[in-house]
Amino acid sequence: MLPLTTPLLIIAVLALMGWLLAPRRAIASVDGDIRRLASLPRQHGLNAVLSTIVPGVAALIGAVVAFRVSNFETGGTLAAIGVVAVAAAGLLFALARSTETFRARTSAEMWIKLLLITASSIAILTTVGIVLSMVFETSNFFSQYNWTDFFFSAEWSPNFRGDSALGILPLLWGTLYISFIALAFAVPIGLFAAIYLSEYAGRRMRSIAKPVIEILAGIPTIVYGLFALITVGPFLRDYFAQPMGFGDSASSVMTAGLVMGIMLIPFVSSLSDDIINAVPQAMRDGSYGLGATKSETIRQVIIPAALPGIVGAILLAASRAIGETMIVVLGAGAAARLSLNPFEAMTTVTVKIVSQLTGDTDFAAPETLVAFALGLTLFVITLGLNVFALYIVRKYREQYE
């Protein structure tokens, strides 16, 4: 095992020594006449601190990862000594350079810039982590389970004693059906709300209605899930599904779709609002000048001009809907089925990821590993939608700038 606390403490002590010693050395090198120094004493101190901590901590992280990857049992103390040696070397190097002509500020800022670059690379590391974590386990899954069965089989019935049918089609169908219903609610309402707010509403109305609608965006999805479970589901069952003979399940495609639609309204409306506002005023004025009414201008000038952006917004909303988890976990049910009846319980990709990865999991069984294949499929679909949508939105924005 690799000790962590002791090396970190020693590095901290070394850094403190640098902070105290480097300025003294610099001042001593000019016999106390600070004016002759190229950098302020403080900068020498900062440089020494960073020269100790950055390489030291980097070496420590490297050692931790190396130990984890190759499962070393012994040699922890040796590695810790190595880490401390790296930090000490950094300190000595910085101290040796703390003299009259050394530009400590430039050197210290190089270290800071290195830290900034590292921080911004974490975004890349996250993506790499996401892809790697799923690709690795997915390939494990496909070595145990035929990939054609996964992508093209219409049966989903996992069985932990083996012999499972793990076809993604019923899950994809449920996902797309629910997303479609959600968009069928959210797009008209969101779009009309955006049109009204940007073209008709006065300042007062706008300043009240816009934040109120945006409250919907700030509510966590678990709240929507509970709303679907205790209010919308029973309501739809008692007043629509049962009287009309569509079934008697409270969790259904309709329940999840309706609630998800409510969740997406602010998303669609605020994106469309931005896009409609980006249409130049001159186009409106031209239309009014020809005698068009406001609604004619909106329908025949503004919407066509904003259409690519609105399509982009709808695609982003679709990717949200496809990746949404809690609403479908609580509102859609767990039965994998291919059916057209919107009042029947169906299930989605995200629901199955949750159900296969919670509880007792065995990371050698295809029934658990399938969740990673589902996750990767979900990731690829949403990523594709996002990239496409952002491309459309960006291209459109350039048109009027």
Partner 1 sequence: MTRQSLLQVDARTAKRNAAEKRFRLYGLSAIVAAVIALVILMTSVLSSGLSAFQQTYITLELPLPEDKLDKSGVRDPAVMSKVTTLGYAKILQAGLVEQVAALGLETDLSDKDVGGMISKEASATVRDRVLANPDLIGTTLTIDVLAEGRIDGFFKGRVTMESAALDGNTSPEALMLAEQLAELGVIETKFNWAFLTAPDASDQRPEAAGLGVAILGSLYMMIVVLVLALPIGVAASIYLEEFAPKNRWTDIIEVNISNLAAVPSIVYGILGLAIFINFAQFNQSSPLVGGLVLTLMTLPTIIISTRAALKSVPPSIRDAALGVGASKMQSVFHHVLPLAAPGILTGTIIGLAQALGETAPLLLIGMVAFVREYPAAYTPDAGLFGEASTALPVQVYNWTQRADPGFVERASGAIITLLVFLLIMNAIAIYLRRRFERRW
Residues of span 20-59 touching partner 1 by CB under 8 A: none
The backbone torsions φ and ψ at residue 142, rounded to the nearest 5 degrees and listed phi first, read -70, -15
282 token code pair: 């001159």
> Which residues does 292 contact at the CB level (< 8 Å), separation at least 6?
300, 301
- For partner 1, give the closer residue by CB, 57 or 383: 383
The backbone torsions φ and ψ at residue 347, rounded to the nearest 5 degrees and listed phi first, read -135, 170
Q: C-alpha angle 254/259/263, rounded to 5°?
A: 140
**378 contributes a contact to partner 1 by CB under 8 A:** yes
Q: Which stretch binds partner 1 (CB under 8 A): 7-15, 86-94, 140-148, 259-267?
A: 259-267
Minimum gap (Å) between residue 201 Cβ and partner 1: 8
d(C-alpha 399, C-alpha 401), whole Å: 6
Minimum gap (Å) between residue 285 Cβ and partner 1: 18
Which listed residue (153, 242, 325, 341) binds partner 1 by CB under 8 A?
325
Which listed residue (6, 127, 146, 277) binds partner 1 by CB under 8 A?
127
Give me the sign of the Cα torsion angle 355, 376, 173, 141. negative
The backbone torsions φ and ψ at residue 246, rounded to the nearest 5 degrees and listed phi first, read -95, 0
- For partner 1, give the closer residue by CB, 28 or 112: 112
- For partner 1, give the closer residue by CB, 341 or 382: 382
Q: Is 108 exposed, middle or buried (0-12, 13-18, 19+ CB in 10 A)?
A: buried
Minimum gap (Å) between residue 10 Cβ and partner 1: 19
- For partner 1, give the closer residue by CB, 79 or 369: 369
- For partner 1, give the closer residue by CB, 112 or 307: 112
Give the H or E element holding residue 136.
Answer: helix 104-144
- For partner 1, give the closer residue by CB, 51 or 350: 350
Minimum gap (Å) between residue 245 Cβ and partner 1: 26
Q: Which stretch binds partner 1 (CB under 8 A): 89-97, 246-254, 273-281, 375-383?
A: 375-383
d(C-alpha 90, C-alpha 132), whole Å: 34
202 token code pair: 């006065």
Looking only at residues 208 through 227 of this chain, which bind partner 1 when binding is defined by CB under 8 A? 209, 212-213, 215-216, 218-227
90 token code pair: 């950094």
Q: What letter does residue 288 receive in the DSSP assignment?
A: H
**130 contributes a contact to partner 1 by CB under 8 A:** yes
How large is the C-alpha radius of gyration of the chain? 30
**282 contributes a contact to partner 1 by CB under 8 A:** no
d(C-alpha 40, C-alpha 109), whole Å: 14
- For partner 1, give the closer residue by CB, 340 or 364: 364
Which listed residue (301, 322, 332, 346) binds partner 1 by CB under 8 A?
322
**7 contributes a contact to partner 1 by CB under 8 A:** no
- For partner 1, give the closer residue by CB, 56 or 331: 331
CB 368 within 8 A of CB 356: yes
- For partner 1, give the closer residue by CB, 126 or 399: 126
d(C-alpha 89, C-alpha 82), whole Å: 10
Looking only at residues 175 through 204 of this chain, which bind partner 1 when binding is defined by CB under 8 A? 188-193, 195-197, 199-200
180 token code pair: 């479609």
CB 370 within 8 A of CB 356: yes
**316 contributes a contact to partner 1 by CB under 8 A:** yes
Looking only at residues 91 through 120 of this chain, which bind partner 1 when binding is defined by CB under 8 A? 105-106, 109, 112-113, 115-120
Minimum gap (Å) between residue 36 Cβ and partner 1: 17
- For partner 1, give the closer residue by CB, 26 or 195: 195
Give the H or E element holding residue 114.
Answer: helix 104-144
Which listed residue (14, 156, 324, 344) binds partner 1 by CB under 8 A?
324
**295 contributes a contact to partner 1 by CB under 8 A:** yes
Identity of residue 161: R
Residues in the interface with partner 1 (CB under 8 A) total: 89
